[in-house]
Amino acid sequence: MNLSSIRIITGDIKRLVGFYENVTGMPFTWYTDDFAELRTPLGALAIGSTRTLALFGGDDVASPASNRSVIIEFQVDDVDDKYQQLTNILSEQVVQKPTTMPWGNRSLLFRDTDGNLVNFFTPLTQEAKKRFETTI
């Protein structure tokens, strides 16, 4: 089994997709006006409008902009450099400036336009780097 994607449901899909395109520097693929996806070699970040909830059983299935438990994580080459590039864009959305974590990653934590937590991180230690080696 492979994790394929994480999907965010939002009330403003254009704004949220634009935010992620801006901070990642990568374009999303729009499949419909209500669904877009950013595909990476290891998985995807999908964003769906609240209108897609009808396909999953109705509006009560998910609530946009109410996440309080998930952090969306992106591995980047140099988190300090990325932080410098995004300082003007993120401004008040930064939760924690780049900080080295006990498990060997250097992490930048911020919120997207819906309030979801996003972590850009760079593995620093050999042990951390080994965890992210891929065979793709």
CATH classification of the domain holding 55: 3.10.180.10
pLDDT of residue 91: 87
Q: What is the pLDDT of residue 134?
A: 65
Residues 72, 24 share a domain? no
The Cα–Cα gap between 46 and 40 comes to: 11
pLDDT along the chain (136 residues), means of 10: 93 98 97 98 95 91 92 97 96 96 97 97 96 70
Domain boundary among 66, 101, 120: 66
Helix residue ranges, H only, 1-136: 13-24, 79-90, 126-131
- For residue 64, what pLDDT is reported? 94
pLDDT for 53 equals 94
HSE-up (13 A, CA, CB side) for residue 134? 6
Phi, psi angles (nearest 5°) of residue 27: -85, 145
Q: Are 14 and 34 part of one and the same domain?
A: yes
Which domain covers residue 110, as residue numbers?
Answer: 67-136
71 and 48 fall within a common domain: no
**Same domain membership, residue 76 and residue 57:** no
Same domain, 4 and 55: yes
Examine the domain organization and report whether 35 and 54 are in the same domain.
Answer: yes
Total of domains in the chain: 2
